[in-house]
Structure 1
Amino acid sequence: MQSIIKSLPKSAGVYQYFDANGKLLYVGKAKNLKNRVKSYWRFTPQLAPNPTLSLRIQKMLHEVDTLSYIVVENEEDALILENSLIKQLKPKYNILLRDDKTYPYLAIDKDSSFPRIEITRKVQKGKNIDYHGPFPSGGRVLLEAIYEVYPLVQKKSCLKGKKACLFHQINKCHAPCEGKITKKEYQVILEEAKQSIIHTNRLIKLLTQKMSLLATQERFEEATKIRDWIKAITALQQNSTIDLASHEDFDIIAIVASEQRGVVLKLFMRGGKIISSDVDYFKNTENFEIAQAYKQVLLQMYQAQMPNSCKTILTAHPFEEQKQLASIISKRLNSPKEILTPQRGTKKKLIELALTNANELIRQQQQLEPTTPIEEKVATLFGLHTHPFRVETFDNSHMQGEACVGAMVVFDNGKWDKKSYRRYMLDAKDEYAQMQELLSRRIEDFGFMPPPDLWILDGGKALLDLAYRLLDEAGVNLEVIAIAKEKLDAKAYRAKGSAKDTIYTMNGPFSLQTTDLRLLWVQKQRDEAHRYAISYHRLKKRSLATKHALLETKGVGKATIKKLLDYFGTFEAINNASFEELSQLTNTKVATAILSNALINSKNQSN
């Protein structure tokens, strides 16, 4: 390796350290590869880690066996490639912050005759749309409150009709469909609503008046709903006594880490007011680097489709690549950006506000956490290098090679992350090949959805070895365990709290007491994956049964089926269609045959 280090080019690039087993340890970027990598080492009397480096880095370097590198055109490209490799390959000594959200915005289509306010996560290019936000939380409540207070067009379909609807009768719309309000008059109301989005205190005042009125009328359920809205809208803003004389826009980002837990806090200031905030927690490890954390957050946060973004990004801590990151983000968003860490004045007070809130959030979390979390106990027992705070569990299901499906469920920081659940239609027919297909497809998605801390497989050692082989081929550093169900009389036994399952790891099998909390923790993941896979399997099985039944219906030919599918889209929709709909498309004889067959098929499935 010494000869490789001495022959490194002086170009910008990314370097990767591997251990003796070929496992990726660390990914870093450099403006000058030769100088950066040489700074890690002392070459006399033999190659050894630089003693001036931190103990964490020295520990990593003692594990290094080989080095590889990728040359890129400039330092900005190196930054992007470094972040991408960390996200996909999950090196042992890089921290991975998962923050690839798309935030919702409130959007107003100004080309509409009577514009509505709608919530969206998509940015439509080339359209005259006014975006407000982002609103990481509370955006939908804010929208509902706006429509409660201001008589805007309540539904998209309202303008299509030519007659005033119920909303006009209850004084929630001025019926532009009947011409009862002019465009100019409507625009005045819309402008007031927009100001309430920006200055939510106005909206809170109006809601409070409405809540009091409802309470005096003894309409307590409606009053309670508005009270909850007021709480949610108030929570959008961080408490701040800072008064900006100008109507400036800032994104303020603070990252704080304690010994065990870290937090990323984002404050969104628009027009001199903090309109919303967002919080992400992460488990701190010895691999934490504040500069690396800011780089990951910024590169993941500012993607090409981000409306209403501000020119200035304030970070609570300075780091070396601020100018390069600002250049990358400017190119992505096609507008100039700057990343600053203010040292004085009002902007410095904004940073202090963010840090104060971030530290308070960590303090609250520490009070809620147990002294030794179950994830730490699981990691210690199975010899895992990382505490499994984010876990993906896999299972597959089929019936004699039909309706073959796979499922992945995600457990993140003690909660089910159902938005990250995935279902897969599988081509393979046997369980081993199905798991291979399932895991291979998940590995392909690591660039979009980074690897977790741990994989759990519903199966034995053969599937464990399969998973490690696939991960090694992809160069991904991820730990895996498998849980095999106890079998009695050749049948899997799944009774909760009683199953004597075996857990397979790279350190050998474990057979734990049925009351062991660590076993129950793994079983909980496996059982949720099984439930999710089975529910999808049953859905696909019903779909296949419906398809087969329709194809076998007498008097219904292929041309008729094609005509019905072109109109309804799916076999299920055909089965659920009314007699009138089917008759109009075909004839009464075919409609009767389809509905009769659907009824018989439904009874057979219920039995």
Structure 2
Amino acid sequence: MLENELKTLPDLPGVYQYFDAQGKLLYVGKAKNLKNRVRSYFNFTPKLCPNPNNSLRIQKMISEASHLEFITTKSEADALILENSFIKQLHPKYNILLRDDKTYPYIYIDLNEDFPRFEITRKIIKKNKIKYFGPFFKGAKELLNALYLSFELRQKKSCKELCLFYQIKRCKGPCEKKITQEAYEKITQEAIQALLNPLSLVKNLEHKMLEYAKNENYEEAALIRDQIKTIQDLSVKIQIDLAKLEDFDVFAVYCEDNLLSMVRFVINNGKIISSNHKILALKNQSEFDLNAIYKQYILENYTQEAPINSTRIYTHDEFEDMELLQDLLSKRFSKKFHLKMPKLGEKKALCDLALENAKINIQKHLKNENYLLLKEIKDFFNLQNYPNHIEIFDNSHMQGEANVGALVAFKDGKFNKNSYRHYHLSYKNDYDQMLQTLSKRALSFDKNPPPDLWLIDGGDALLKLANDIIKSSGANVDILAISKEKIDAKAHRAKGSAKDKIYTQDGKIQLNTDDKKLQFLQKLRDEAHRFAISFHQKTKRKQDLQSSKLIQLGISQGCIKKFLDYYGNFDNIFNASFDELKSLSNAKIARLIKDNT
């Protein structure tokens, strides 16, 4: 079949997808000419086989491929956008996966205002004369608080009369014209310079911290101490002094011990105001694809929704699609971008510094206990992905009432509560409830990219169910299920002694109760259970309250049950039309409900 599909390829730009015999997506690529690019993966004589000139990773992918699909586009730039979108949504097995659902904050100031304030935003504010600083990969809030503590700026968004901040000399009182616009602008410019050099704020913060401690306000002193540490961490310690007050970004990537490290420096007015780094575990060193990594890393840092710091980007290395990426960014933002690898001077020195930071980050990561445990879990359970991002699922109900599903996320070594989700469910048995929960999550992969691993609270049947859902979605997600030990038909959750079973693609595994891998998976499962139970209890209380309301209206339990079976929940009952309610009961009951909602 694959050989016949290769004959149908057009001489057009587009995206191609390789699938294995089970229909699982292996790889997504883009091409200027689909026919030439895809055929370059193969040798055709004496029989169809992988081209030995390609990397070992690509050769292995081709040896597993049995089916090919393609989508044509108007240009290679359009193909690059589509390729990046597919990789983020589906996580193909052999693509480098740099997905990141974070939108980093910027600090901005609207200079259209007479007395402007500094604010935090994650999106472009559509106005002229707005100045952006960032993105700040951490510490934006702390930096903003430090600004307002150090400079007598307008402290409140809306203020019509003098307030406490004026009394304690934290504000000059622009609301009652106690300061001229010219004098306020001078304060604003000083604050801007402090934003460009965050360490300049530390001295004033230290003074405030000592003042609080002296007055025995230890809580406030501790908050400022933490602010100071965050601001100190923002600054990259460098000796390079840029001669010009320029704005640009620097990117560098490095790979060692199967770990990929990426670094971005953001330079405003010749100063590094923030830096970001990312670590990704590869399956093996042969996965290191410089072109693919730079493309994805730069694209995820330049989304259409975010402000841009500069149109100039410097990279430590040259890569194949450099010019294409430059043209794509120019088209996306309607500004001329310049993407270069400097060979001499201060830009080259900054790129070298970024690379050095990438190397140091790998050494730090190798000593991290979380990394070692997750790597052990990956190897022990034969997972395809390093499980940096795990989603854990559980359901909760009481005799078929208040049915809810819960998703808990563990990412970058900690529970990520911003990614927790809960679902109202209509089904009443565990299997169908999990089907509904997992299906809802899979349907959102286009908006919220899938994780590396799903952990299901259940046994073999739910593992197979999750496998079917992931297979139908086309995403590359590993799956494990953990089944609680039963004692007298009840789940046994004793910490450190429960003999839970782990279900994998290769069969059932029972680890010793003191095994760190088991205890880690139990910790994840128990957090999902806690979250599911708390949401169930909240839902049940709400339902009891709503049920009580209907009972007080004189509606029988039998009639309420009939409504619930039909509508699924009380909100739908209260929102139903008079005619619908009448058809399920009678006019009197329908009128009672409509008159009291």
Q: Structure 1-normalised TM-score?
A: 0.85
Within 1, Cα distance between the matches of 2:279 and 2:231?
22
Counterpart of 2:535, as a letter, is Y
Match of 2:139 in 1: 138
Residues 164-243 of structure 1 aligned to structure 2 (within 5 Å): 164-207=162-205, 226-243=224-241
Within 2, Cα distance between the matches of 1:193 and 1:494?
54
Quickly say closer, same or farther: Cα 1:41–1:116, change in 2 above 3 A.
same
Counterpart of 2:267, as a letter, is M
* Residues 109 and 115 in structure 1, CA contact (< 8 A), matched pair in contact too: yes
Within 2, Cα distance between the matches of 1:105 and 1:374?
34
Quickly say closer, same or farther: Cα 1:144–1:8, change in 2 above 3 A.
same
Match of 1:523 in 2: 522
Structure 1: gaps of 5 or more residues: 556-570, 572-607
Q: Does 1:303 align with 2:303?
A: yes
Please state how far the C-alpha of 1:312 moved relative to its aligned partner: 0.5
Please state how far the C-alpha of 1:212 moved relative to its aligned partner: 7.0
* Cα distance per residue 1:431-483 (max 9 Å; x no partner): 22221111111112212222222211111222112111122222223221212
Quickly say closer, same or farther: Cα 1:66–1:216, change in 2 above 3 A.
closer
Within 1, Cα distance between the matches of 2:351 and 2:198?
22
Match of 2:580 in 1: none
**Corresponding residue SS for 1:373:** helix
* Residues 99 and 297 in structure 1, CA contact (< 8 A), matched pair in contact too: no
Quickly say closer, same or farther: Cα 1:376–1:137, change in 2 above 3 A.
closer
Within 2, Cα distance between the matches of 1:221 and 1:490?
49
* Residues 94 and 288 in structure 1, CA contact (< 8 A), matched pair in contact too: no
Within 1, Cα distance between the matches of 2:511 and 2:211?
61
Please state how far the C-alpha of 1:348 moved relative to its aligned partner: 0.8
* Cα distance per residue 1:143-189 (max 9 Å; x no partner): 111111211222224x13x3x22222211122233333233332322
Counterpart of 1:107, as a letter, is Y
Match of 1:420 in 2: 419
Counterpart of 2:307, as a letter, is P
Quickly say closer, same or farther: Cα 1:380–1:354, change in 2 above 3 A.
closer
Match of 1:455 in 2: 454
Please state how far the C-alpha of 1:191 moved relative to its aligned partner: 2.4
Counterpart of 2:424, as a letter, is M
Within 2, Cα distance between the matches of 1:61 and 1:308?
39
Q: Which 10-residue stretch deviates more, 301-310 or 546-555?
A: 546-555
Within 1, Cα distance between the matches of 2:215 and 2:497?
56
* Residues 305 and 333 in structure 1, CA contact (< 8 A), matched pair in contact too: no
Q: Which 10-residue stretch deviates more, 378-387 or 261-270?
A: 378-387
Match of 1:536 in 2: 535
**Corresponding residue SS for 1:106:** strand
Match of 1:288 in 2: 288
Match of 2:11 in 1: 10
Within 1, Cα distance between the matches of 2:224 and 2:467?
53
Match of 1:574 in 2: none
Please state how far the C-alpha of 1:529 moved relative to its aligned partner: 0.9
Within 2, Cα distance between the matches of 1:465 and 1:288?
32
Match of 1:590 in 2: none
Within 1, Cα distance between the matches of 2:213 and 2:414?
37
* Cα distance per residue 1:237-283 (max 9 Å; x no partner): 21222222221111111111211322221110011111111122211
Residues 490-501 of structure 1 aligned to structure 2 (within 5 Å): 490-501=489-500
Within 2, Cα distance between the matches of 1:517 and 1:203?
43
Structure 2: gaps of 5 or more residues: 555-569, 571-597
Q: Which 10-residue stretch deviates more, 261-270 or 411-420?
A: 411-420
Please state how far the C-alpha of 1:325 moved relative to its aligned partner: 1.4
* Cα distance per residue 1:535-561 (max 9 Å; x no partner): 111122223334444566689xxxxxx
Quickly say closer, same or farther: Cα 1:225–1:480, change in 2 above 3 A.
closer
* Residues 100 and 301 in structure 1, CA contact (< 8 A), matched pair in contact too: no
Percentage of identical aligned residues: 49
Match of 1:480 in 2: 479
* Residues 15 and 33 in structure 1, CA contact (< 8 A), matched pair in contact too: yes
* Cα distance per residue 1:297-324 (max 9 Å; x no partner): 1222211122242011112221111121
**Corresponding residue SS for 1:156:** coil
Match of 2:590 in 1: none
Within 2, Cα distance between the matches of 1:125 and 1:226?
34
Please state how far the C-alpha of 1:27 moved relative to its aligned partner: 1.4
Counterpart of 2:123, as a letter, is K
Match of 2:410 in 1: 411
Please state how far the C-alpha of 1:333 moved relative to its aligned partner: 2.2
* Residues 132 and 308 in structure 1, CA contact (< 8 A), matched pair in contact too: no
* Residues 261 and 279 in structure 2, CA contact (< 8 A), matched pair in contact too: yes
**Corresponding residue SS for 1:168:** helix
**Corresponding residue SS for 2:449:** coil
Within 1, Cα distance between the matches of 2:321 and 2:293?
12
Q: Which 10-residue stretch deviates more, 304-313 or 513-522?
A: 513-522
Please state how far the C-alpha of 1:289 moved relative to its aligned partner: 1.4
Q: Does 1:313 align with 2:303?
A: no
* Residues 303 and 333 in structure 1, CA contact (< 8 A), matched pair in contact too: no
Please state how far the C-alpha of 1:91 moved relative to its aligned partner: 1.4
Please state how far the C-alpha of 1:224 moved relative to its aligned partner: 6.1
Match of 2:349 in 1: 349
**Corresponding residue SS for 1:358:** helix
* Cα distance per residue 1:1-23 (max 9 Å; x no partner): 22322442121122222222222
Q: Does 1:434 align with 2:440?
A: no
Count residues with an aligned counterpart.
Answer: 552
Counterpart of 2:175, as a letter, is C
Within 1, Cα distance between the matches of 2:5 and 2:121?
51
**Corresponding residue SS for 2:367:** helix
Please state how far the C-alpha of 1:61 moved relative to its aligned partner: 2.0
Match of 1:40 in 2: 41
Counterpart of 1:272, as a letter, is G
* Cα distance per residue 1:418-443 (max 9 Å; x no partner): 22222222233322222111111111
Match of 1:55 in 2: 56
Within 2, Cα distance between the matches of 1:276 and 1:213?
29
Counterpart of 2:295, as a letter, is K
Within 1, Cα distance between the matches of 2:504 and 2:216?
62
Within 2, Cα distance between the matches of 1:248 and 1:210?
33
Match of 1:89 in 2: 90
Within 1, Cα distance between the matches of 2:50 and 2:375?
30
Match of 1:386 in 2: 385
* Residues 456 and 483 in structure 1, CA contact (< 8 A), matched pair in contact too: yes
Within 1, Cα distance between the matches of 2:255 and 2:210?
43
Residues 552-567 of structure 1 aligned to structure 2 (within 5 Å): none
Q: Which 10-residue stretch deviates more, 294-303 or 99-108?
A: 99-108
Quickly say closer, same or farther: Cα 1:243–1:461, change in 2 above 3 A.
same
Match of 1:253 in 2: 251
Match of 2:325 in 1: 325
* Residues 312 and 339 in structure 1, CA contact (< 8 A), matched pair in contact too: yes
Within 2, Cα distance between the matches of 1:79 and 1:489?
57
